[in-house]
Structure 1
Amino acid sequence: MDDETWETIGRLVKRLDEHGTASPETVRLLRILKIGEEAGEVAEAVHGAMGSNPRKGHSHTWDDVQKELCDVVLTAMVALRTITPDAQRVFRENLERVAARDAPR
């Protein structure tokens, strides 16, 4: 991810911090837990796109799934930035580690 993306995440974290009243420890925990909430919304959208719930039918589209997946990614980035000011480096290093693990030998 580029510098501009991480600058945007930093601004989002700053705005959230300015409006929060919880302790820093609670803020970290809640932002991490929010990832699970967003993942649940992905699951709900997939079920809706596939029409797998007879009571709700086709309540979502695959575009909805894409939007919810983006929410998961953004929420995880906010959580990562919340627990480390060096989130961009941490993310880059972990991405490189995963990519190297998958590289042909």
Structure 2
Amino acid sequence: MTSDGTWDTIAQLTAWLDRDSPVPPDQALQVRILKITEETGEAAQALIGATGANPRKGHSHTMADVSKELCDVILTAMVALRTLTPDAQTTFAKHLANVADRSLTPR
């Protein structure tokens, strides 16, 4: 678990979104999960631009842009998880521990 205030900030961002959202509360989770896809698309677009993979657009982004977009994906997913469960920090910590155990523990 982090003690750096990350999940407190996520809780504050979630509350801010809840307060100012034009979306009915019963649709907030769906919209926030869809927002993850939108942010993922922006990360993909930045990577394509950073590598110049689209000859029509050339090098339109940098790897710093890719990093920023990946951070947006992570933040958006954290807000969606916090919307799903008020105990998002514990839910994530348990999941991370399970993934680490099955992936990093020698068999």
TM more than 0.5: yes
Normalised by the length of structure 1, the TM-score is: 0.96
Aligned residues: 105
Normalised by the length of structure 2, the TM-score is: 0.94
- Please show how residues 1-105 of structure 1 align to structure 2 within 5 Å: 2-3=2-3, 4-102=5-103, 103-105=105-107
Kindly state the Cα deviation for residue 25 of structure 1 after the two structures are TM-superposed: 2.2
Deviation string for 1:53-98 (max 9, x for gaps)? 0111000000100000000000000000011000000000000000
- Give 2:6's aligned amino acid: T
Kindly state the Cα deviation for residue 104 of structure 1 after the two structures are TM-superposed: 1.3
**5+ residue gaps, structure 2:** none
Q: Percent identity?
A: 58
Q: Which moved more, 1:18-27 or 1:73-82?
A: 18-27
**5+ residue gaps, structure 1:** none
Report the aligned-residue RMSD.
Answer: 1.0
